[in-house]
Amino acid sequence: MNVCLPRAELIGLDWGTTSLRAYLLDESGRVLEMRARDWGIRQLPAGSFDAALDEILAGWPACLVLASGMVSSRDGWREVPYVDLPANLVEVAGALSFVDSAAGRRVHLVPGLRNTVAADVMRGEETEIFGALALQPVLAAGSTLLLPGTHSKWVKVRDGRVVDFATAMTGELYAALRHHTILAAGLPEHDPPSDQDAFLRGVQAARDSGAAGALSRLFSARALVLAGALDPLAVPDYLSGLLIGEELRGALAAGRIDRATPLQLIGNTPLCRRYAAAASCFELGMALPPQGAAALGLWQIARAAGLTSLTLHHAAGVHP
């Protein structure tokens, strides 16, 4: 009995500031294999981008390569201009650029998006967005997407186009407060086991902070510990709750959340679950993230750009 094995068609790279993920995709966009390294654009192995690419793709077939994320930023391998809002999949795919590695492998680069009205930018998240829209087409008509992380993105989608987005530096602020302020005094370097009660207490403190906002509540983390009302080891979760709660409070105040519009989380599942728990304190429902959005987004962009029809000969770096 002959078995027709899937053929590798595309290598997708999700190359950010702190990590590199590589996906080997077949002709239908299905992930055949995934590899991950701690090689963000700021932690590259010897030989820089070329060495990282050669190592992570070692043993894989000579497929076309498409990369999204900070690899196409000013600090990346080659800067690719942003696509201005509003923007859809076809417009992003039409603005791809490329760089050739020392070994002769051509790497196509995905541009980020720019919000000229609010002076805001993203790189990498646009790929997850288009992947999520492909996984859940109902979101394309009109939805609010939240991609939490170091720099959370609040995104509005209408008729398949990204029409608006805003960034909240929640994750980076947490790291700064957790490791570089008096609020972290006496805490171990690594976070202790999660304390859900302390997290929700922080969310509720932000929710109830009114016009003053959660900045007016940050020092309560110190005061509660001194009063014996908060376990010192619960401070990280309390701070996390304060900051995520403030992000949600601010989004509501700014009109970024419409209770009649689907609100979809995209990204790291444990972090998304934390946001969903925080949202419940505001009587908000957030749908947990679909799996595989980043890889499928790369496939969607490649297909929209017509790259999946290239021969393996061209994809290997031999160009006319």
Give the separation between CA 237 and CA 155, rounded to whole angstroms.
26
Cis omega before residue 86 (within 30°)? yes
As given in the structure block, the two tokens for residue 78 are: 């080659």
Residue 277 near residue 260, CB atoms below 8 Å: no
Residues 297, 299, 303, 308, Cα dihedral to 10°: 160
Contact residues for 74 (Cβ-Cβ < 8 A; gap 6+): none
Give the separation between CA 304 and CA 92, rounded to whole angstroms.
9
Give the separation between CA 319 and CA 58, rounded to whole angstroms.
21
Residue 206 near residue 217, CB atoms below 8 Å: yes
Reference 98, options 74, 122, 78; nearest CA is 78
Sheet with 263-265: strands ordered across: 161-168, 152-158, 142-147, 263-265
pLDDT, tens digit (0-9, with 9 covering 90-100), for 7-38: 889 999 999 999 999 999 998 899 999 999 99
CATH code, 8-111+292-315: 3.30.420.300
- The residue assigned the tokens 């749908």 is 287
Reference 12, options 136, 96, 103, 122; nearest CA is 96
Task: Return the domain boundaries, the chain.
Answer: 8-111+292-315, 168-280
Instruction: Could you please state the CATH topology (level 3) that the domain comprising 168-280 is classified under.
Output: Nucleotidyltransferase; domain 5 (3.30.420)
Give the separation between CA 17 and CA 41, rounded to whole angstroms.
5
Residues 178, 240, 190, 122, Cα dihedral to 10°: -80
Give the separation between CA 223 and CA 216, rounded to whole angstroms.
13
Residue ranges of the chain with pLDDT lower than 50?
1-4, 310-320
Instruction: Output the pLDDT for position 315.
Output: 40
- Angle at CA 201, nearest 5°, toward 200 and 206? 95
pTM of the entire structure? 0.91
Instruction: Provide the phi-psi class of 149: left if phi over 0, else alpha when psi is between -120 and 50, else beta.
Output: left
- Examine domains 8-111+292-315 and 168-280 and report if their fold is the same: yes
Residue 95 near residue 83, CB atoms below 8 Å: yes
DSSP string for residues in 111-174: --EEETTTTEEESSHHHHHHHHHHH-GGGGSEEEEEE-STTEEEEEEETTEEEEEEEE-HHHHH
Instruction: Output the pLDDT for position 5.
Output: 52
